[in-house]
A and B are shown apart, each in its own frame.
Chain A
């Protein structure tokens, strides 16, 4: 959990906006450090977290969360964290075995045209509270869905429209029905394409998800070039605002990632420069 980011987003583990769909995106950069922030943030806030870790192993997230002060193994044992390890589950489908084990969540690998309905059903069963009957089950807060990352689904052959349907259903269930939050990471490459709509790639997916979300954090490299001390810039944009002020608000920060966190500062005020 990065304290400076908490103050930027006006959120603490004790009080944060519920029902938010946060979209983390990057362009020619790596925004996965923000996913680690949100993971440790929501675990600290005692929320029930469903994490779709599609690109890295569990021990990777566990090692980093440990540095941020949260233990993923403990959270998983207590039932607070439900972790889908995409890499592990996919092997049994990609290399056909005699006995098919594992959850049906990664079934889209078998036939990507089918869509992500099974993955949605996995999410739904994870976030909806298991009914009574178990003693000693702790009560957790609102459910949170974290996806790292959504663009790898495009690499595996799923169409961008199917991903948008999946995110819509997750939003309907997690945000609107259960008043929980969603954080999704989508990665783009290259410059923004002028010809929109024709190529159903990650740019189109980014636009579609932007329309659905309520808060975006867009990570990019510095426009002036490569710098070792400042790793890039983050543009925070609040989209849907209830109550007063219907306009969208944008803020720009520069950041640097350390071993145990990341620091955010106004452009030009990096400690390396001042």
Chain B
């Protein structure tokens, strides 16, 4: 499903990449940017977390269609060198900004990162802006990076509630692999969930290593093979085939053969018979020993 998301997004899609301190979602974000550029889309990036050079570093696709609005150098207006401040994150300013670069087709907006904005703008305002962007207009799709461990669970939940797809990344077991949990909501209301292991190569192309279909199932490749407990002993506890046969053939005491069992179960003539006729005394009700229950 990761590759599907990379290939194309429908209009009005909001994709959120959630990451944490242990694994940064920056590289996956750059993969999405690279895929979008390869599809000849116009990409606008609101850069808060990283500088323009760092973001463009390594992107081999032509960066002509990539417009970087730097909010990294002065997001709060301290040095009066602002290109974009955090308080400009609202629909009017954004559409104005996007319309400045004349483009016939709608634009993919990449926000790096939403956490920065959420620190200064209240979550309801951010959600409202995202919703209005989703409705369409100048922006075709929104891709945002969110540091899930920096906000309260409710905030993360509210922002992701608006998203059409959410990818949560976490470090994988092997070095450069990572685990992505994907939730996608289609327009028809169907929700698909998937968990994949992927790795990102140097040119920011994503290779999906394996898919695990169950949500809770983890790919547990044991790091070391199980040690054989019968090895390295001073005595031999293994059985050869002949020894195993002999073992199974052995008749154990007090284990009756089948014939003997059936003979014992059927009472032959002349052996004692057990005649049983139920008696009043046998009718013992555990719950009512005095037999006067009148419930």
Contacts and interface: CB of A to CB of B under 8 A. Distances in A.
Interface of A: 117, 120-121, 124, 161, 164-165, 168-169, 172, 176-177, 196-198, 204, 207-208, 210-212, 239-240, 242-249
Interface residues on B, range: 35 or more
A156 to B, nearest CB: 20
Contacts, number: 70
Contacts of B23: 248
B57 A197 contact: no
A193 to B, nearest CB: 11
11 contacts: A117-B78, A161-B120, A172-B51, A172-B72, A176-B72, A207-B21, A211-B21, A242-B58, A243-B202, A246-B176, A248-B23
B53 A176 contact: yes
B27 A246 contact: yes
Nearest to A161: B119
B171 interface: yes
B72 A247 contact: no
A172 B27 CA distance: 20
A211 B76 contact: no
Given A176-B72, A239-B24, A197 B78 contact: no
Contacts of A249: 175
Given A176-B53, A244-B202, A197 B153 contact: yes
Contact of B150 (A176, A197, A245): A197
A197 B152 contact: yes
A210 B21 contact: yes
A21 B156 CA distance: 27
A172 B58 CA distance: 20
B155 A197 contact: yes
- Residue from A244, A246, A249 with most neighbouring chain B CB atoms (10 Å): A246
B147 interface: yes
A222 B136 CA distance: 55
Contact of B78 (A169, A208, A240): A169
